[in-house]
Amino acid sequence: MKALALTIQQEPLSNLGGLPKVAVPAPTIERIETVDGPVWCVTYAGMTRYHRQDWQAWWLYEAAKAAYFALSGFSQDRPS
């Protein structure tokens, strides 16, 4: 199987058609213990999603984090 190389040029949100840059906090993930068992809370773009299965929560968190860094112009490799 051949590997496909894809290069995507990313620009900071402020350079996209003169749109104003909006301050949106980075996505967060949190585990909360409830009477029925643990619940994962993933917060991104002003929304919070709740998941009982950890793989769903982590998948959503990683996708939201990738979108956040792509739109913000920050590098994911930068230490927090």
Q: What pLDDT was estimated at residue 25? A: 85
**Would you call 46 exposed, middle or buried from its count of C-beta atoms within 10 A (0-12, 13-18, 19+)?**
exposed
**Residue keyed to tokens 């979108």:** 67
Tell me the C-alpha distance between 57 and 28, whole Å: 10
* pTM (two decimals): 0.64
What local confidence, expressed as pLDDT, does residue 30 receive?
A: 95
DSSP 16: S
Would you state the pLDDT for residue 70?
A: 82
- Taking the chain (80 residues) in consecutive chunks of 10 residues, what is each chunk's mean pLDDT? 49 52 82 94 93 95 90 60
Residue 19 carries which DSSP code? P
Tell me what pLDDT residue 54 has. 92
